[in-house]
Amino acid sequence: MDQSDELGDFLRSRRARLRPEDAGAAFSGGARRVPGLRREEVAHLAGVSTDYYARLEQGRHPHVSETVLEAVARALRLDDTERGYLFELARPKSPSPERRRPAPLPRVRPAIHQMLDVLNDVSPALVLNHRSDVLAVNHLAKALITDFDALPHRDRNFARFVLLQPAARDLYQDWDRVAEAFVASLRLAAGRHPDDRLLNEFVEELSTKVPEFDTWWAGHRVDQCAHGTRRLVHPVVGELTLSYEILALPADPDLSICLYTAEPGSASAETLSMLASWSAPTGLRGRSSSEAPSS
């Protein structure tokens, strides 16, 4: 992904969504040919010259200060995630041969596996990296979503399952909303890891295989999707409404746990408990095959 092009596209998309009244100022100038704020209006709100802002939007200002970026973020009403994304894009990283090579998948620490085991009877849980590769998963998550351990290594990816597998469209009642959220998360990851070849190839694959993908990607939504609600229709136990949280692992950079819970005493809690009983493995469970090193 070219960060200069992405920076310009992102800034244009953010100003296109704002009306003058939304930005807290009234501008004159007659009829508008395009939606949203003009460049000169953003420049005015940010306290910089129009030429300076135009160069920034064109990717021709490599040494922009934090003060200016903060001012632009305020002018465009960026939320915290969008602001962080803007800073990432405005600080291009010099590519190196080491960064072009895919890094091996990190091994999940035994203590994290133990945590997943403890959660087996109450909460579906997965360990993910920035690409949404599934690095570890407990049996309740396998029963709820899909058995990632049974898939080829390339397919052990949560976003790939949601966006490319027909079963996901049946599982999620509001598949469009869920899929668009995964795309927003992938775009955020692409801004933070512009030289991740596997991620860039995955994005290209999605653009050819998912009809809705190009529209969602062009919308430049970026989102950590750190928490929310999922409404599912499981083929065995039926409907569930679950909350999810993405929990960072400070000791394991780039890894996080996706954890699902049901409201205590709810019908979904009973259904999830039924799924846990139905899916409980017999005997000792072997170590997750997703821990095996990638080829």
Domain segments of the chain as ranges: 3-92, 110-291
**Fold classified for 110-291:** Beta-Lactamase (3.30.450)
Structure confidence at residue 289 (pLDDT): 38
The closest of 244, 207, 210 to 128, measured between CA atoms, is 244
Structure confidence at residue 58 (pLDDT): 85
Structure confidence at residue 79 (pLDDT): 93
Residue 176: is it exposed, middle or buried by C-beta count within 10 angstroms (0-12/13-18/19+)? exposed
Contact 69, 86 (CB under 8 A): yes
Two tokens, residue 88: 């990432």
Place of tokens 């996901």: 168
User: CA–CA separation, 261 vs 28, rounded Å?
Assistant: 51
β-sheet bridge partners, residue 238: 234
What kind and span of H or E run contains 248?
A: strand 238-248
3-state secondary structure of 189: helix
Q: 157-203: per-residue pLDDT in tens?
A: 999 999 999 999 999 999 999 999 999 999 999 988 888 999 999 99
Two tokens, residue 282: 């017999």
Q: Which CATH architecture has domain 3-92?
A: Orthogonal Bundle (1.10)
pTM of the model: 0.84
- Torsion angles phi and psi, residue 23, rounded to 5: -80, 0
Structure confidence at residue 35 (pLDDT): 74
- In the chain, which stretches have pLDDT less than 50? 97-99, 283-295
